[in-house]
Structure 1
Amino acid sequence: MAGKGKDYRFLKSALGLFAGHGLLQGEDDKLEKGVESRMLTGIVDDVISNPYTYLRKKVDAEKTLTVGDILSGRKKSKDVNIGIQNKDLIDSAPINSIIAQVIDPGVSSKDGELPVLCYPFFPPHLSLPLKPGEYVWLIECDVKGAKMYYWMCRQVGTIHVDDLNHTNMERIVSAGSTFDNFIKSEKTKKPADDLLQASVTLNNSEEVTNSKTSFAKVYANSNAYRSEFTGEPVPRLAKDCADLLLQGSNNSGIHLTTEKFSNPEDVSLENKKYTGKTNADECLPTRKPDSSAIDIFVKRKRDSLDAILGS
């Protein structure tokens, strides 16, 4: 059998050939170098929510070139200047892939490197939100020189900037400085208008700390940002340590928790239940056994948001 001794990476497809290029097989497997991986940081250029429609979008005035044509390198256009390092993988990119600029020293766009196509790390059973302009954790897998990239999740910022709707990590310095000055002045000094603006906006400035591409350009060139993203204030929700909280980016979510809307006397909670103790005073008063709850919510605190908007 011609394929004997070869693994799935040698399937006769562009992806198989790319991923399996140069690997040792058969009796020489013991000499094969293992897969090397490392964590990287990237800035999201675009999100490929649906590759079927994304790659077929027309990018030129004559409507003869598609995004897939340009990113794969099959065709070129003097009017469209986009490209990725791993162009061989674009035609088989799965749903929820992204294009990201790696910003680690030596491999960033400031070092002349092109963006990379990144597959989602998690399967479609868990599709996490991610928006253009956000910082993202990347995993680079190196299989004897053939590199694959996977994105894990958005990076978490400080409490000043971390935002379910859209988190811009470039605001950390300006937001932190504004807050520190406010505290030092005993909450009496008003921040300068330009500093305050940089602290609270998405930051459309032409300068980006870790990339040669400005956020203004990222947003302008991103299909996901222009056609899918809705920017709006989203109230934060703090969960208890034992809860599971799943939230979207536009004020909706599912909270697996314990009963919190009923009065204790109405639900007859016994805090000693399942403890083996006979005296309730020996148990923590905060225990709420047998009171599991699933809260599904949308538009939390909308009245409060509307009141702020009208003030």
Structure 2
Amino acid sequence: MSRRIKNAERPSRGIGLRAFGVRRAGFVRWLCIALSLLSIVAWRSSFAAPPDLESDELLPALFERDDVEPYIQLVEATDADDSVPPPPDTENIQPPVLRRPLTPNFPETDPLLLPEMPLEPSTLFAYPVDAPLGFTGQSSVLPSEGQESSHFVPMEDRWRAGFPAWDRYGKGHPPVDDYPYLQGSLIDPYNQNVLKGDYPIIGQHTFLTFTGTSLSILEARQVPTPTTPFESTGSPDQNEFFGDPNQFLYVQNFFLSFDLVHGNGAFKPADWRIKLTPVLNMNYLDVNELGIVNPNVNKGTTRFRGDGALE
């Protein structure tokens, strides 16, 4: 009985070790929490710490925060915001040939005339004006703008562009050789000509094609020709029935064609066309007997007359 009481009064060794383990685990847990807080503080200080703070001021600065309230400021728009920016300085542009006004300075009285004064401070650069090829006639396209820059020259009539003189074969342009790139004349049908539709005669799209053909017939012949009565014969003292057979005939025919076409040349059919073809005839007959050129012997032995027709 006494032995059991002694064992009961003796403290349990397992309970003491268990309590010590609980205290040790709590200490380790709090130590881990403290190390975690220190690592978080050190990490934030490496990214957000101001460079002018000392190490002892670092920790309070981490927990200080200035609350800034966002705001929107409304500003009333004025007419000054819609103003046009000032133009660039055109007085100091180099080289001087590039200086030009922003708007051309044409005279107000007649816009088709070129201004007498140059549009630029310096003289405009221009190439010599070459004559176009062939016979172009007078252009009916009036200029509407003048030269504003030395880089571009306006050309209203796109058909009558100049072409420099060129001796292709080096022979001095002999008149009997077939030479390209020549200046023609009004009656030259072998080079460009305004009368055969190579250049517009009105504006830029109206062309005239003129074609003329001449047919001449000269005939000297002998045809049995009867004589007239003795009282009106051309050869008196003649007893034969047939008189003088000699005759001369001249016939001249002119075939003219005027073809006025409005369109885009050979690129599409004509918008409208007017074509006239007149024919003129002149004839002359000379015989040696009366009553041949006309039944009236008073008309003599010659006859001249003309006829005409229009298609």
The structure whose Rg is larger is 2
Does the alignment reach a TM-score above 0.5?
no
TM-score range, shorter chain: under 0.3
TM-score, normalization: structure 1?
Answer: 0.19
TM-score, normalization: structure 2?
Answer: 0.19
User: 1 or 2 for the larger relative contact order (CA 8 Å, sep ≥6)?
Assistant: 1
